[in-house]
């Protein structure tokens, strides 16, 4: 099953919030992304129906194995791309915004080549 950019962003946000806070609720996601709670609720329903998340009886959102795999991939891309852009002189805020745009569309081949290049040419 393929997932859209917005779904990837939600999964990445769930991962980040779970690492930061332990538990994640829809309201936490809405607050983090500055979205309406109703929009987040619809997205969570879609992610749950596609087996990317589960929601327990307390309303906490948990990533499934497939959801965690996608979230981890997107977060790694975001982190590496942001750090790379900052290392070549891009402002931190702009680097993070641009990384968010690039992370979804960059092919695995290009991303792997970029990771290899960065590991072989560390910034001094």
In a domain, 64, yes or no: yes
Phi first, then psi, for residue 9 (nearest 5°) are -60, -40
Residue 14 domain boundaries: 5-69
Q: Are residues 82 and 43 in the same domain?
A: no
CB 46 within 8 A of CB 4: no
Is the per-residue pLDDT at 36 higher than 90?
A: yes
Report the residue count for the chain: 124
Q: Are residues 60 and 101 in the same domain?
A: no
Q: Closest by alpha carbon to 65, among 54, 55, 76, 80?
A: 54
CATH number of the domain at 16, please.
Answer: 1.10.10.10
Q: Are residues 80 and 109 in the same domain?
A: yes
At 37-59, the pLDDT tens digits run 999 999 999 999 999 999 999 99
- The pLDDT-based confidence of 121 (bands split at 50, 70, 90) is confident
CATH number of the domain at 77, please.
Answer: 1.10.60.10
Distance CA 103, CA 33 (A): 17
In a domain, 27, yes or no: yes
Is the pTM here over 0.85, yes or no?
yes
Q: Compute the radius of gyration of the chain from its Cα atoms.
A: 16
Q: How many domains does the chain have?
A: 2
Q: Are residues 106 and 90 in the same domain?
A: yes
């Amino acid at each position: 099953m393929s997932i859209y950019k917005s779904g990837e962003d939600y999964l990445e946000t769930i991962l980040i919030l779970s690492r930061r806070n332990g538990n994640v609720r829809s309201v936490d996601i809405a607050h983090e992304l500055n979205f309406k709670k109703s929009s987040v609720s619809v997205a969570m329903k879609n992610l749950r129906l596609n087996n990317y998340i589960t929601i327990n009886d307390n309303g906490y959102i948990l990533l499934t194995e497939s959801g965690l795999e996608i979230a981890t991939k997107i977060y790694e891309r975001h982190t590496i791309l942001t750090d790379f852009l900052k290392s070549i002189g891009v402002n931190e805020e702009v680097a993070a915004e641009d990384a968010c745009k690039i992370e979804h569309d960059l092919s695995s081949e290009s991303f792997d080549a970029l990771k290899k290049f960065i590991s072989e040419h560390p910034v001094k």
